[in-house]
Amino acid sequence: PSTKALFLNNPCNPTGAAYTKDELMELAKIAVDEGIVVIADEIYEKLVYDGFSFTSFASLGKKIKEKTIVINGVSKAYSMTGWRIGYAAGPKDVIKGMSKVQSHSTSNAASISQMAALEALTGPQHEIRRMNTEFQIRRNYMIDRLRNMPGVSCYEPRGAFYLFPNVKSYFNKEHEGTQIRNSYGMAYYLLKQAHVAVVPGEAFGAEGFIRLSYATSMENIVKSMDRISKALAKLEPTRETKMVSLNNSITKVKEFVETEVHVGPELRDALVAEAENHLAKNKEYYEWNANILGVIIQLRTNLPHLVDFWTENWYPGQLETDLEPHGVIYAVGWIAGREARAYYSSETKTAVFFKSAYYAQLRSLALGMADDITSRLSGTYSVRGLGLDFGGDGVMLIAPKGTGKATFFANLLRHPKSKLVTDDIVFVRLNSKEAIADAPERKLYMQTNFVEKYPDLAALFDKSKCENVITSRDQCTNGPCQRLDNCRLDRGAPFCYEASKTSRAMLDPYWIDGTAKHTKRTSLKHIFLLKNDPISPVVTKPKVEEAVRFCEEGMSVSGPMRSEPFFNPHLLATGSDRTDSRRRFYEKLFSIAKPYFINLGAGDKDEIQKQINKVIGI
């Protein structure tokens, strides 16, 4: 009932399959009966073989014509790829609406291109027939060669100029250390070994296949078939294949949705009633208490992924009928008409989180709620930063995004005397002499791209529960890596930890090296505040008020200038009175744990690292 349109590519890229008139009539009947608009991509309509008769979808009758939008162009049949001319034909109201959008999106095509396209469409067509004959000769030659390669099968296309052979029989084979695990790996292998460029089938949602094009000269086709045949013949069964089966959950929402933090009693009651009503009707319901440094936060949800990560992330709290939690989070999946959004009521310590299974935001709500509670009850505040311990002396790195703090954190973590405390946040309580920092989490919800700085973690992530780890090349968002000629996914790796900034692993920090490399508590002695300016030396000792102002302003150093107070995105209680109390806390914190400005613009990374190490005394 929610389907509005069907996209029909005929003849098809990448297989070359084409629909007969009878097959199209069956589709047309369904489209008319269901009221579905058909977007018919007929760009390859003139490139058909073996006497096949192409039928345009809009020609099947008046009713289907009224529901069809034909899209076409001159790039394929007329070899005019650089002229950038395409067109659409359909009902007047639809085309009128499309024209409005197009006129505000792009400028018009060049007049020369338009006149050339008009001549191509209305002029003599004998060159197309000659080209089709040549394409058919090339197609037949390639099919014959492919079908004679052991383990390769190939559908015989009716149109377009592609072949889509099945090469899955060569998966889990290798040559000189290069293992073929999937179609990306096969494409990479053929490019490097045979110097033939193909497109992996995974790019089309068809793992096990590769796409070849015969829109090139017969001379090149003969060479490519010879090279592919030789390259495949070199592949041998992998002697010892160890495939890692990653426990990886992919969420539809992969970023924070808007959170409304000033929710009054009436709205809070309405939201809770809506959440509870929906959860009561759902067969899947989960309830679990987390103990966050003595604060009991209860999760109520119908989303299995969230409760799975929740129970991994936190220490368990008692779950008893007569035990009232300090705070409650409702995380509710699909509700018709409801937008993805989060709400928080500080007065009742209640959060409601709609239509997102992205664990990062649920965790953030829990940390913000715990901070709201502990800061009021015991004067314990959350401090966002990277934390380490050196023989009982705690070190924090606090900085905005984009400063490169992960590099210095990784270097410090490699030091034999260091212990990991946190990769994100601690809760700090103060007395007259000490700033005691506690890690609130049982397992760390760690960005997997940290393996760029600390490769040893990759093997640990392999056995951790993961979220949104990239598994195909087209999902990769790591621009610098894409520009290199060494992509793991191109080489056939089943996943890549470095391909996205939003992929995470739920890592048990004791897996790194037991108690020798992790501690839950430290006494803060040094707090490094990373900034970037062209004037200051590498290390300066600011006055307490300077350090507090730097943290409170929380100004970004990359992208649009914006403020994130105390560099802490988890804060939910943000009123002026709470900001004042947090400011006073930081004033006392910096009088106990000495702050240092580290100017990243004053030297190279090695020199900056030496200065940091010197302050710590390592």
CATH number for the domain including 144?
3.90.1150.10
- Tally the domains of the chain: 4
567: left (phi over 0), alpha (psi -120 to 50) or beta: left
Q: Which of 70-79, 127-136, 320-329, 364-373 has the lowest mean pLDDT?
A: 320-329
Shared-domain flag, residues 300 and 348: yes
Shared-domain flag, residues 310 and 350: yes
**Which pLDDT belongs to residue 211?**
97
Token duo for residue 103: 């006129």
Distance CA 255, CA 223 (A): 47
Please answer whether residues 150 and 161 qualify as being in contact, where contact means their C-beta atoms are separated by less than 8 angstroms. no
Number of other residues whose CB lies within 10 A of the CB of residue 335? 13
* Final residue in a domain of this structure, among 325, 357, 377: 377
Token duo for residue 514: 């037991």
Q: In this structure, is residue 326 part of a structural domain?
A: yes
Distance CA 100, CA 96 (A): 6
Q: In this structure, is residue 221 part of a structural domain?
A: yes
Largest Cα span, the chain: 92
Q: Alpha carbon 479 to chain centroid distance?
A: 13
Supply the CATH number for residue 53's domain.
3.40.640.10
What's the Rg (C-alpha) of the chain?
Answer: 30
Q: In this structure, is residue 452 part of a structural domain?
A: no
Q: In this structure, is residue 449 part of a structural domain?
A: no
Distance CA 135, CA 214 (A): 7
Shared-domain flag, residues 112 and 175: no
Distance CA 317, CA 472 (A): 38
Residue span of the structural domain in which 189 resides:
127-237
Residue 393: pLDDT band with limits 50, 70, 90: very high
**Which pLDDT belongs to residue 366?**
98
Distance CA 502, CA 306 (A): 16
Residue 37: pLDDT band with limits 50, 70, 90: very high
Q: Coil, helix or strand for 162?
A: strand
Q: Alpha carbon 203 to chain centroid distance?
A: 16
Distance CA 575, CA 263 (A): 13
Say which residue the tokens 């946040």 belong to: 425
Closest CA to 289 of 311, 268, 317: 317
**Which pLDDT belongs to residue 92?**
95
Residue 318: pLDDT band with limits 50, 70, 90: confident
Distance CA 545, CA 551 (A): 10
* pLDDT tops 80 at residue 19: yes
Q: Mean pLDDT over residues 194-208, rounded?
A: 93
Helix 218-233 vs helix 126-147: crossing angle, to nearest 10 = 20
Contacts of 411 (CB under 8 A, 6+ apart): 609
Please answer whether residues 169 and 152 qualify as being in contact, where contact means their C-beta atoms are separated by less than 8 angstroms. yes
**Which pLDDT belongs to residue 203?**
86
Mean predicted lDDT score pLDDT of the chain: 93
Shared-domain flag, residues 546 and 608: yes
**Which pLDDT belongs to residue 532?**
87
**Which pLDDT belongs to residue 308?**
96
The proportion of the chain whose per-residue pLDDT surpasses 70, expressed as a percent, equals: 98
* Final residue in a domain of this structure, among 349, 377, 405: 377
583, containing H or E segment: helix 576-592
Number of other residues whose CB lies within 10 A of the CB of residue 394? 25
Distance CA 499, CA 466 (A): 14
Distance CA 414, CA 409 (A): 9
124, containing H or E segment: none
* Final residue in a domain of this structure, among 83, 102, 122: 122
**Which pLDDT belongs to residue 243?**
54
Q: In this structure, is residue 541 part of a structural domain?
A: yes
Q: Mean pLDDT over residues 212-232, rounded?
A: 97
Q: Coil, helix or strand for 151?
A: coil
Shared-domain flag, residues 419 and 283: no
Q: In this structure, is residue 497 part of a structural domain?
A: no
Q: In this structure, is residue 402 part of a structural domain?
A: yes
Shared-domain flag, residues 545 and 417: yes
Contacts of 490 (CB under 8 A, 6+ apart): 184, 185, 187, 188, 473
At 74-101, the pLDDT tens digits run 999 999 988 989 999 999 999 999 998 8
* pLDDT tops 70 at residue 493: yes
Shared-domain flag, residues 435 and 566: yes
Q: In this structure, is residue 295 part of a structural domain?
A: yes
Residue 240: pLDDT band with limits 50, 70, 90: low
Residue 176: pLDDT band with limits 50, 70, 90: confident
At 398-444, the pLDDT tens digits run 999 888 899 999 999 999 999 999 999 999 999 989 999 999 999 99
Q: Mean pLDDT over residues 30-55, rounded?
A: 96
Shared-domain flag, residues 28 and 161: no
Shared-domain flag, residues 50 and 188: no
Q: Mean pLDDT over residues 252-267, rounded?
A: 95
Amino acid code (one letter) for 436:
I
Give the phi and the psi of residue 192 in degrees, each rounded to 5. Answer: -80, -40
Distance CA 333, CA 405 (A): 35
**Which pLDDT belongs to residue 305?**
97
* pLDDT tops 90 at residue 104: no
**Which pLDDT belongs to residue 45?**
97
Shared-domain flag, residues 140 and 197: yes
Q: CA neighbours within 13 Å on the CB side: how many for 325? A: 26
At 142-155, the pLDDT tens digits run 999 999 999 999 99
**Which pLDDT belongs to residue 1?**
57
**Which pLDDT belongs to residue 179?**
83
Say which residue the tokens 């409801």 belong to: 338
The proportion of the chain whose per-residue pLDDT surpasses 90, expressed as a percent, equals: 82
Residue 244: pLDDT band with limits 50, 70, 90: low
Q: How far is residue 288 from each of residues 272, 301, 512, measured CA to CA in Å? A: 17, 9, 28
For strand 327-332 and strand 315-316, is the pairing parallel, antiparallel, or unpaired? Answer: unpaired
At 494-514, the pLDDT tens digits run 899 999 999 999 999 999 999
Supply the CATH number for residue 548's domain.
3.90.228.20
Helix 405-414 vs helix 605-616: crossing angle, to nearest 10 = 50
Shared-domain flag, residues 419 and 528: yes
Shared-domain flag, residues 264 and 322: yes
